Chain A
Amino acid sequence: MPGAQPQTDTGPRVSWPRQRASETPARLKIRARDVNVHYGDNHAIRNVTVDIDDKTVTAFIGPSGCGKSTFLRCLNRMNDTIPICRVSGLIEMDGQDIYAPDIDPVLLRARVGMVFQKPNPFPKSIYDNVAYGPRIHGLAADRAALDHIVEQSLRRAALWDEVKDRLAASGTGLSGGQQQRLCIARAIATSPEVLLMDEPASALDPIATAQIEELIDELRRKFAVVIVTHSMQQAARVSQKTAFFHLGELVEYGETGQIFTNPRDPRTESYITGRIG
């Protein structure tokens, strides 16, 4: 597999704080080995091997069409819904093959939540948007338990104080940034273990973007967060690990600080410094 071997962060001294001092070392959450994705004849992902840590924000960066979103969608089997899409290779979560025949993709997606580029609240009340997942998965025993889940999720999404007096109002009536935080609340309401975010702030203004970024930093206390972003500054700001994709390959994967100060692959360097590559 020509040039497919990603460079990992095993290089010499990297003088960048890996984790906050108070945190325990990251634990492996998702292990992907030789993942290939084909859309019909298009070989979209080529031999991607990557380890994603728990309680860590991992950013996927790369030019449009590089495969970063496609790979993200492999992690909760969203690609299953596309008939011409074929995924091969191994993806394990906590040592369990998520493509194994006995895995129910619907249950998997409750464990691996997702937030999309454009805020897409259901045309329902704020309360029902958040309560939707817990209801269909039967996570709440009674109304009080559901109320609790809704409040907790909205609090974690840093939206509670803004909407607590109008939970019955429609989710679509909120501002863009609030809608996106509502979608995050909805995604975390099922107590997922991993949160996938595909360009979660690209449709938002700078203030709402900062709120989402602050939220991402909060969320990583509980979840593994994987974020696809076109904004390299955003990747640099929110993530601890960064993976650079190019033409379907994982070119380089390492500590975010190392990637942005001293990338080892010239393709990464070209991309993050804004050169023609």
Chain B
Amino acid sequence: MNLFVEPVGVSHFLLVGAVLFVAGVVCMATKRNALGVLMGIELVLNGANLNFIAFGSPYFRETSLGLDGQFIALFVIVLAAAEAAVALAIALNFYNNHATIDVDRADELKG
């Protein structure tokens, strides 16, 4: 279909969400920097958020989730911010103890 002329549907948003999600998963799997892993998590959460927004949008389907989609997305954003703060605090603490944030080096329980 020619997207220049035809309106987009939920599927197109889902596709973008899927790309973001997979990019995030690969990022989490390949990065050894703790902050890189954190960025992967943010990408995954955004991919999920995009799906919620797309399903909640009244423009694409007649039976949409309505505002519930936006509510869930809001909560995800807020919780992601909280999660990032805690993860960053842990990373800083780890850096103070080990002088690195390489996640492969975090294999001992003794600080």
Do A and B make up one complex? no
